[in-house]
Structure 1
Amino acid sequence: MWLQVSLLCLSCLSLPSLSQAQDQAVLHRSNDYGGRCHYTFTVASPEESSCSGSSMKPEMDGVLSRLTLLEALVSQLIAGVDGTAGSAGTGVRANGEEGFSEDYSQVTRDRKQLQQDKERLNRQVQELQRRLAELSQEAESLRQKPCQQTHTPGGSQRENRPASDPAYDFGKGAYQEMKAEVKEVAASRLIPEGNHNLPGCEELQSVGDPVLHRKADSITGKYGVWLQDPEPQGPLYTNQTVWRIDTVGKDVRQLFAYEDMDQLSQGFPMKVLVLPEPMESTGATMYRGSLYYQRKRSRTLIRYDLTSESLASRLELPHAGFHGQHPYSWGGYTDIDLAADEQGLWAIYSTSKAKGAIVISQLDPESLEVKRSWETNIRKNTVANAFMMCGRLYTVASYTASNTTINYMFDTATGMGRAVAVPFKNKYRYNSMVDYNHAQKKLYAWDNFHMVTYDIRLGRASQGSI
């Protein structure tokens, strides 16, 4: 309609006037508040330079038109966004809130875990501080305790020496020797020994009468070794297998195997093994599938494996006397006597340093290396024989007296020895071998051609020491 009115106005104008002012006419297009299009013509007056009563300029009208158009467009945009994007905005807000909640939960969990770790570390620090305080207190109490006096095996006591005593001069040889002896005794006593509280490991109380199993039938059997393995290995030989060695001769190598005691008594060996090195004397023993013995005219110990029938290991026993240097009282080159009991493998011997006193060493069954040693205060050549039982050494007083005694006991657990008096019989008056079998709980002996066993009885330890 506004277009029609405008055209009408134009037709009313005279053509000369229109032609004169057409260069000055301006057409304006703008929307009203309702969004409708308006066309407006502006013509400059040929007579008036300005309109009276109006301060608005044409440029202002254009600006107002453009503002009106912008306001309309903004209103349309706002109305459209609110209508079409409302649901999408709600989803974005929901997703955003959900992601924020999840992140917050993760942060809360991490914070809680860190707090727990902190508390745990604090407890550990407190525990370490407590232990440190206890150790410091124990060290202080040990520093305040007086040093204990040391007694030598012979019973002499070195104590309360003044600083002026010449023995305290480090340059004196006597002091150095005394110092070495004290260290050796202390070291042996500090090493924890085997468990004497094992079932059947009380002290020896009595020995029964000898029971004969076989008599040797030739001069080579005047003395020898016979025994059973308390801990056999493998199916070939059992704890019923009997082993015998006649030790009279220049080259002792034959090892006789019997299926059991009955076969021994009948004299029927099931096998004869030949040892790789000759044996010396009656000090051999059987333990865990191997024969342990001393090589002839040497301090070398040999482990002979019974299953493979081969030499398994050999080693010299350090400083041990051999071939008549420190034998038992009956002689027979019995310098090194090997034994086995509940606690393992042992060597009974002496050295020049021990001056003939019996030395006990526990050996490694595989390598034969010395694990620990003890020096007793009884001379080896004053006793007829010895054996180990539950980690204790027992000695026999005589090899010829019909009624003698087991006269001495040394306990490796305490490092102390004392006199005992357990009756013992040498029925055939020449006992050259005594050994203990902890599986059978018997003593095995070779008494003047006769192979005998003794039943034993154990009981509580008696008191008193020497």
Structure 2
Amino acid sequence: MQQVTQDLILEAEIQMKKMVSYKGELEIFLAELKNLTFRVAILESNPDNYVQLDFELLRVELREFEALVAQLRESLNSSSPALDSLHAEIHNMSRIVDQLETYDKSNLEMIRVEFIKLQRILEECQEETKVNKPDIGNCDHGVIVGVGEPVVGQLNAHLNVDFRFGGWGKDSKPVRGFESMYWYGAYSSPSVYEFNLYSNYDQLILRSSFTHHALPQGYEGTGNNYIVHGNAIYYQTGNPFRMSKLNLTTSVYNQRDVPKASERFTYIYSPKQYLDFSADEKGLWVIYATEEAKGKMVIAKIDEQSFGIEDEWTTGAFKSLAGNAFMACGVMYATRPGDLTTEEIFYSYDTRTGREKHLSVPLRRFQESFANLHYNPTDQKLYMYNQGYYVSYDVKFDTDWTPFYVH
């Protein structure tokens, strides 16, 4: 009886872990499905904006939905009305997309209705596999151990792939009333001279900004690794080389020199990315390389009140070999190219303990190269500006982790 009980407990633990894993996948696909609904709505309102790549994405993502549901049914060794209905609807939707030869308004409306039905059924499936969601804002966990599939919003607001430099995302420390705000700026060269703010994700997708900022002469920026934090944009300026801050409420500018930062080391994918701004649960950071560290990345904590550097940590990662870097819970993560479609998070440095660690966490790129990658603590997502496209990722941390303290 004891042996049978132990076997049953073990089997139950295995099934629970599967449920947790599939819950995460369902959440990712639900977010993708909502994005698809928005994109089809845009096509319906203005078919002239349609590009063939958008429709190909529908086919790819529907196949992913169908594979996930089939895997769920097989793994759980059971079924349910919600799972059966979801599988049937996805299969039906795939057939419609494959048979569609013309893309007039009536067909687009039919697709959008099908997406809404799929979204509702998928939400029911989520309830059946419901587990606790990540504790947003809490850092009681280990390093990043997984990154979800890329969720592609759409081509940028300029509808132009030549605008491959830039960034997008959410305010990492939003002020009251602007928790849903998104920002976006893109350019044909590694520079910063204007950007737009959107009241929510829907307005971003609809390209309907509520305000537009054009940086005045003398305050233009360079590079691409800028962010919005506490209703202020932080970016890099040149001539002279320094970090800059624009308060979006008062339109007041501040600039500070970073004496140790070198203009000789940048990331692989983009020139002039000397100061990389990042924000996480611990505050505001800037990452750069120095001559003193022979090109290795240095993490600097920014005092938000004085807009000065309050502390520094030298890592073991060379900036010129990295694709990009970001901060999450006081830990710096560096990426490097894998193959044409894969990036790898290969290195981490914990500013609290001074420990560095080599990782191998794959991150699938939508396009070959990208200009901006940063983490947002308000939703625990990565935001990437990938060859002109809005791309985001869910992040999974190691929860089976024992804290390490330095005395």
CA contact (8 A) 2:260 2:290 kept: yes
Which of 297, 302, 316 is 2:244 aligned to? 302
Aligned amino acid, residue 294 of structure 1: Q
1:284 aligns with 2:226: yes
Give the structure 1 partner of residue 145 of structure 2: 205
Give the structure 1 partner of residue 78 of structure 2: none
Aligned amino acid, residue 365 of structure 1: E
Whole-angstrom CA distance in 1 between matches of 2:192 and 2:162? 10
CA contact (8 A) 2:141 2:401 kept: no
CA contact (8 A) 1:399 1:429 kept: no
CA contact (8 A) 2:242 2:255 kept: yes
Give the structure 2 partner of residue 426 of structure 1: 365
Deviation at 1:357, TM superposition (A): 0.4
Give the structure 1 partner of residue 332 of structure 2: 393
Query: What are the Cα deviations for residues 123-156 of structure 1, in whole angstroms up to 9, with x where unaligned?
Result: xxxxxxxxxxxxxxxxxxxxxxxxxxxxxxxxxx
Give the structure 2 partner of residue 346 of structure 1: 285
- Secondary structure of 1:280's counterpart equals strand
1:271 aligns with 2:211: yes
Whole-angstrom CA distance in 2 between matches of 1:298 and 1:331? 20
CA contact (8 A) 1:213 1:264 kept: no
> Gaps spanning 5+ residues in structure 1: where?
1-196
Query: What are the Cα deviations for residues 250-283 of structure 1, in whole angstroms up to 9, with x where unaligned?
Result: 8631110111111111212121012241111111
Query: What aligned pairs does 1:1-400 form with structure 2 within 5 A after superposition?
Result: 198-199=138-139, 201-216=141-156, 217-219=159-161, 221-235=163-177, 238-249=178-189, 252-276=192-216, 277-311=219-253, 313-322=254-263, 325-398=264-337
* Greater relative contact order (Cα < 8 A, sep 6+): 2
1:435 aligns with 2:374: yes
Whole-angstrom CA distance in 2 between matches of 1:338 and 1:368? 13
TM-score relative to the length of structure 2: 0.61
Paired residues, number: 263
1:408 aligns with 2:347: yes
Whole-angstrom CA distance in 1 between matches of 2:334 and 2:311? 20
Q: Residues 421, 234 of structure 1: CA spacing in aligned structure 2 closer, same or farther, 3 A cutoff? A: same
Whole-angstrom CA distance in 2 between matches of 1:219 and 1:457? 30
CA contact (8 A) 2:243 2:275 kept: no
Deviation at 1:341, TM superposition (A): 0.4
Q: Which runs of 4+ in 1 moved over 6 A?
A: none
Whole-angstrom CA distance in 2 between matches of 1:287 and 1:213? 22
> Gaps spanning 5+ residues in structure 2: where?
1-136
TM-score relative to the length of structure 1: 0.54
Q: Residues 211, 251 of structure 1: CA spacing in aligned structure 2 closer, same or farther, 3 A cutoff? A: closer
Aligned amino acid, residue 317 of structure 1: V
Whole-angstrom CA distance in 1 between matches of 2:141 and 2:258? 28
- Aligned residues: CA RMSD: 2.2
Query: What are the Cα deviations for residues 59-108 of structure 1, in whole angstroms up to 9, with x where unaligned?
Result: xxxxxxxxxxxxxxxxxxxxxxxxxxxxxxxxxxxxxxxxxxxxxxxxxx
- The share of aligned pairs that are identical, in percent, is 25
Whole-angstrom CA distance in 1 between matches of 2:187 and 2:288? 19
